[in-house]
Amino acid sequence: MRGYIIRRLLLLVPTAILAVTIIFFAMHIVPGDVILSRIEMGTSLRPEQLAEMRKSLGLDKPLVVQYTDWLWNAVRGDLGNSLATGRPVTDTLRRAIPVSLELAILSQVIALSVAIPIGVISAVRQDTIWDYVLRVFSIGMLATPSFWLATMAIVLGAYWFYWAPPFGYIPFWQDPVSNLKQFLLPAFLMGLHGSAVAMRMTRSAVLEVLRQDYIRTAHAKGLSPRRILVVHVLKNALIPVVTLWGVTIAHLLAGTVIIENIFALPGVGQSMLNAINSRDIIQLQVNILFFGSAVVIVNLLVDLSYSVLDPRVRYN
């Protein structure tokens, strides 16, 4: 297993390089740069002034030279300074990671807490009124974007109840109650949308397992339906659900970009959007490195979980 883990972690290197390369050159397709984004509307500068400002940030060099310089410094552990603020990009990322991690973990806990029970009930009660209602609910959540749910929650809450969710960020260790008040609504909305696909996958997986010969054998041996469901059905049915969860983690991370900005949470997603608006390529590349690393590591953990769910799984 050790060799397998090492090989998977080594895949992180080409994945990260490919991601930051695409982002670096794609950002230069968009007109403008960080200098122009910092100039206030109506302000005029002479061409030589603009050239001097770009030279001070190294933006006068060819794109290939800018990219190779940054990549070489990154290999040596220096990820650079933000073009917009001048501060080390690692400082911004260090402050943003706890926010995004808390939002992602809470939303996934909510998603799985909703998806697995509903998927199991829908499968066990196949073709009943409960099955139809729960399937319609899952399709509705699948068709509804999380950012629309978030916008409606804020607008309708203010219009009908004169209520607005708390904005900003309070660290958990400073005030746990206020922190949870800030995160529960965005995490619930993200989790509700993310649970839709897992609901349908759980239902399909449970139905497939229920038709297996060893389930009929368990019934014939006189085991209780609860024991059969918990011990024999769920453990085998969860393997495709866990696989799906690993595949959709990238979609979840992309969703944090919008949700964090709607609820003013200073996470990696909000930092990424700010970097895009200000053409801060250095900050954007570091954020992409974080997201790419998170996807690779989560998928590795998903692969390793197979051996827990099914002892027959071996890693070479």
Q: Which domain holds residue 182?
A: 89-309
Q: Give the CATH number of the domain where residue 239 resides.
A: 1.10.3720.10
- Condensed to tens digits (0 to 9), the pLDDT of residues 114-154 reads 888 888 888 888 888 988 888 888 888 878 887 888 888 88
The reported pLDDT for the residue numbered 42 is: 46
Domain assignment present for 213:
yes
Contacts of 199 (CB under 8 A, 6+ apart): 114, 115, 118, 119, 122, 134, 137, 138, 141
Q: What pTM, to 2 d.p., does this model score?
A: 0.79
Domain assignment present for 259:
yes
- Number of domains making up the chain: 1
Sign of the CA dihedral 151, 156, 162, 165?
A: negative
- Condensed to tens digits (0 to 9), the pLDDT of residues 61-114 reads 888 888 888 888 887 878 888 877 778 888 888 888 888 888 888 888 888 888
Rama region for 184: left / alpha / beta (φ>0; ψ in -120 to 50; rest)? alpha
DSSP string for residues in 174-231: T-HHHHHHHHHHHHHHHHHHHHHHHHHHHHHHHHHHHTSHHHHHHHHTT--HHHIIII
Domain assignment present for 65:
no
Domain assignment present for 196:
yes
Domain assignment present for 289:
yes
Q: Tell me the two tokens of residue 309.
A: 């769910």
Mean pLDDT within 260-278: 84
Domain assignment present for 30:
no
Q: Which single residue is written with the structure tokens 């024999």?
A: 232
Domain assignment present for 233:
yes
Whether the CB-CB separation of 259 and 146 falls below 8 Å is answered with yes
Domain assignment present for 245:
yes
Mean pLDDT within 270-284: 83
